Amino acid sequence: MTAALLRFELAAARSGRTAPLFAVGFALASLGVTFVGLSAGGVVAVQGFARTSVSLLQLVVWVVPLLALLAGATAGAECHEMEFVVALPIARARLLVARWAALLVALGAALLVGLGAAGIVIGSLAGAADGVRYLALVGVATLLLAACLAVGLALGVYARSRTRAMAFAVVAWFVLVVGVDLVAIALLAILPAGQASWGLSLLLLADPVDAARVLGLGLFRADAIAGPTGAALRQVLGGWGAWLLVAGLAGWTALPLALAGRRLTRRDL
Amino acid sequence: MIVLRQAFKLFGDRLALAPTDLQVRGGEAVALVGPNGAGKSTALRILAGIIRPSGGAATIDGRDVVADGVGARRGLGYLSQRLGVPATTVVSDLAALVAAVRGLPVATARAALAEPGLESRADATLAELSGGQRQRVMLALATLGRVDALLLDEPSISLDAEGADEVREAIRAARQRGAAVLFASHHLHDVALLADRIVVLVDGRVVAEGSLAELAAAAGVPWSAELVDPPIERIYRVLVGRSRDTTVEPLRLVRGDAA
């Protein structure tokens, strides 16, 4: 039954326009960043996996959360329109997880198209050095996608209506992408150095977008631009920081899904 | 068997359904009638597990719809007044899901769509179908496979004469197969034709319950089983009007009350 539900949700995700549009748009943006993002002095040049990946990472941490939050929120709100499916002998939580998994597959494939196109161009023009790290970056982007989809689904389930869900998603995106950084800067200004490190490390776990950004920068040893939260995490946790961030992103996936499943199960449709 | 035991529903402080007792046995068809907002859909949605009762219990084949929702819905067919799935859903995808859930091959679902002549629209989305076609697709899927309890909320809505015939046939077929059928309808002629018992709801309360003969007796409307066109509309208006004129306890009839 789970397979049938997943097939049903995959078909629904596939038939929508979101994934193909995302694939095309993200591929174009990735190629654009690949060619010109880090070109020195305005000269168009591909600069190898390491530096180009750092630019691509910025694209990932801005675009992926926005799209995933919006798509997840819409899908979460849509659960309230599914009387016919809910009246089948299917647990509501299972329906929600199937929606999440189907969106992850559909949007994950689109993400692969975008980053894959960029990877092929970089590899063919600048060689395969750091190629494995680039693959790890794709993994980080997928983790971020999974977490933001889960958050979006939870927002949609709580919001109930699509319009409200979309509004929640945009606010959440702003908070996660910009708001937490502002809090980090404030913490740095207010707290003494030692306390600030712990505070910033915790803040990193409280924000999947920043966690993915620091994780991605760490892959390419771009320590200098990892920001105050990234620097704090390295200081506090050393080499374990990366694994903690992966666990944090997994938590950001599991916890919203669990909360949304519980809410959907216990509330009237 | 479909059972409501003192089940009631509050939306905020509004009583959508007063404590209600109802039983529909296998092979029996019971109709819920009443004005808009009477609580018909609320009762059906409680039984389908869409909303939770604020109190009391609802069971399908002995399984509580809240405590064992998945078990209770195993043999349930439900046709909602709303579409119940996103309009972008492709008909064949939905059919495949229902077939899989009921343990049937996908071909069975395709065949079920062929019956009302909709096999050529299997690859269309629900949004691409007319209102009547959508309703027929959803009815075909709600009654697909072995269904022990069938809940239909305004099944004839937006259907032409042919579609309405299909609904009547689906109710008769389900009852003959031994399913318990509970349906809400404003089409009183259909109700008179199909229902073994009729439950009249007004403002969330059951104001009358019984066979057509019993309700006719309660309403004081002359009735004879030989009547080709039973005066159900008159009976309904008398019972609804009376319930609104008085604040007495709900009228409850049992079989044999009718003279």
- Among B126, B145, B164, the domain boundary falls at B145
For residues B34, B38, B44, B47, the Cα torsion angle rounded to the nearest 10 degrees is -130
Across the interface, whether the CB atoms of B49 and A8 are under 8 A apart is answered no
**Best interface-test mutation with A: which of B10, B83, B85, B126 has the largest number of A CBs within 10 A?**
B85
Distances (CA, A) of B225 to A159, B229, B252: 53, 10, 22
From chain A, pick out residues whose CB is under 8 angstroms from the CB of B89. Answer: 12
Looking at residue B77, its pLDDT comes to 94
> What is the rounded end-to-end Cα distance, in angstroms, of chain A?
22
Looking at residue B257, its pLDDT comes to 46
Asked whether A98 and A6 are in contact (CB, 8 A), the reply is yes
**What does the pLDDT look like over B224-258, one tens digit per residue?**
777 667 788 888 888 888 887 765 454 454 444 44
Question: Do B2 and B53 lie in a common domain?
Answer: yes
Confidence of residue B132 (pLDDT cuts 50, 70, 90): confident
A3: pLDDT strictly greater than 90: no
Owner of token pair 């694939």: A23
- Among B101, B124, B145, the domain boundary falls at B145
Range B34-56 average pLDDT: 94
From chain A, pick out residues whose CB is under 8 angstroms from the CB of B84. Answer: 81-85, 87
**Best interface-test mutation with B: which of A88, A94, A95, A103 has the largest number of B CBs within 10 A?**
A88
| Nearest-Cα residue of chain B relative to residue A92 | B70
Across the interface, whether the CB atoms of B101 and A16 are under 8 A apart is answered no
- Interface ipTM above 0.85: yes
Average pLDDT, chain A: 84
Percent of chain A scored above 90 by pLDDT?
43
- Among B129, B145, B161, the domain boundary falls at B145
Asked whether A115 and A141 are in contact (CB, 8 A), the reply is yes
Question: Do B98 and B167 lie in a common domain?
Answer: no
Question: Do B230 and B158 lie in a common domain?
Answer: yes
Question: Do B152 and B141 lie in a common domain?
Answer: no
Higher local confidence (pLDDT), A214 or A209: A209
**What does the pLDDT look like over A144-165, one tens digit per residue?**
999 999 999 999 999 989 999 9
Give me the residue from A8, A83, A268 closest to B82, CB to CB. A83
- Of the listed ranges A91-95, B29-33, B223-227, the least confidently predicted one is B223-227
Q: Residue B186, class by beta-carbon neighbours within 10 Å (0-12 exposed, 13-18 middle, 19+ buried)?
A: middle
**Best interface-test mutation with A: which of B14, B68, B101 has the largest number of A CBs within 10 A?**
B101
**Best interface-test mutation with A: which of B61, B70, B151 has the largest number of A CBs within 10 A?**
B70
Asked whether B30 and B196 are in contact (CB, 8 A), the reply is yes
- Of the listed ranges A224-228, B75-79, B182-186, the least confidently predicted one is A224-228
Range of the domain at B247: 1-75+147-259
Minimal CA–CA distance to B134: which of B104, B89, B168, B170? Answer: B89
Amino acid at site A127: G
Range B117-137 average pLDDT: 85
From chain A, pick out residues whose CB is under 8 angstroms from the CB of B76. Answer: 87, 89
Across the interface, whether the CB atoms of B90 and A91 are under 8 A apart is answered no
Question: Do B240 and B156 lie in a common domain?
Answer: yes
Question: Do B242 and B183 lie in a common domain?
Answer: yes
Structural element, H or E, at residue B206: strand B205-210
| Residue A72 to chain B, least CA–CA distance (Å) | 15
pTM of the model: 0.86
The alpha helices in chain A, defined as continuous H runs, are: 2-15, 18-32, 48-78, 83-86, 92-126, 131-159, 162-174, 180-190, 193-205, 208-219, 227-237, 241-266
Across the interface, whether the CB atoms of B93 and A12 are under 8 A apart is answered yes
Question: Do B140 and B152 lie in a common domain?
Answer: no
Confidence of residue B98 (pLDDT cuts 50, 70, 90): very high
**Beta carbons within 10 angstroms of residue B48's beta carbon:** 30
| Nearest-Cα residue of chain A relative to residue B49 | A87
Looking at residue A39, its pLDDT comes to 60
Give me the residue from A4, A7, A86 closest to B50, CB to CB. A86
Query: Which residues does B contribute to its contact with A (CB < 8 Å)?
Result: 45, 48-52, 69-71, 73-74, 76, 78-80, 82-86, 88-90, 93-94, 96-98, 100-101, 125, 138, 141-142, 151
Question: Do B56 and B102 lie in a common domain?
Answer: no
Number of domains in chain B: 2
- Of the listed ranges A147-151, B101-105, B221-225, the least confidently predicted one is B221-225
Looking at residue A260, its pLDDT comes to 96
